[in-house]
Amino acid sequence: MTIASPLRSIAVFCGSNYGLNPDYVKGARALGREIARRGLRLVYGGTDKGLMGVMADTVLAEGGEVVGIITRQLFDLGHLHQGLTRHEVTQDMRSRKSRMSEYADAFIALPGGLGTFEELFEVATLTQLGEHHKGVACLNIGGFFNPLRSLLDHAVAEAFMKTEHSEMLLIDTDPVALIDALEQWQAPTVTKWIGPAPLPVTAR
């Protein structure tokens, strides 16, 4: 049964590998089923590799809509998923990320590597700066994002980040609860800057 949602599209960032823990694949399938159940469009990187392919296959198998945004380089290497609802080919990673962001009403990261981390932090930074007002979340399969929560807490403790900006990045183990939280999410209203600037060092 399709559930009405204030969201229309969710961009998912995740690995093009499967990872060691079989729970990563199980978690990707669970998120894909929940996205399809709610009648949401999946927007992702367009390939059939790793967790990315698992996500697309699951949403499509459940009758959902999947939009793939793939770079020209990956397209030319034959990495495009052949069963997508539709796809776009972009010139490079920067334009790929821009198009994914334009499509998405919210973002979810699954376990992945450098590309996943970079995509996650970019959209979170844009939210922090107020360049968009879209929720950002991580599906914490197998404790994968526990070190990220520790890093964010450390940045707060060292006065490089406000608590509101640390906590705006939602982290949960349950895809149902995670999307519920994204549906209710509100952007922080505080600025990113903390305290007065230090006094300049005077030359002697």
Give kind and range of the element (H or E) at residue 31.
helix 22-37
Q: In the chain, where are the structural domains located?
A: 9-184
pLDDT at 204: 55
- pLDDT at position 197: 59
CA atoms within 13 A on the CB side of 118: 9
How many residues does this entry show for the chain?
204
Residue 90 CA to residue 98 CA, distance in Å, equals: 10
pLDDT at 18 over 70: yes
pLDDT digits (tens, 9 = 90+) for 120-135: 999 999 999 989 999 9
Is residue 4 over pLDDT 60?
A: no
Q: Is the pLDDT of residue 20 over 60?
A: yes
pLDDT range class, residue 75, cuts 50, 70, 90: very high
Q: Give the pLDDT of residue 195.
A: 73
In single-letter form, the type of residue at position 91 comes to: Q
The sheet with strand 106-109 has its strands ordered as: 86-90, 65-71, 41-44, 9-13, 106-109, 135-139, 169-172
- Relative to beta strand 86-90, strand 106-109 is unpaired
pTM: 0.91
Helix (DSSP H) and strand (DSSP E) numbers for the chain: 8, 7
144 phi, psi to nearest 5 deg: -55, -40
CATH number of 9-184: 3.40.50.450
> What's the CA gap between 120 and 46, in Å, rounded?
17
**Residue 5: its pLDDT value, please?**
59
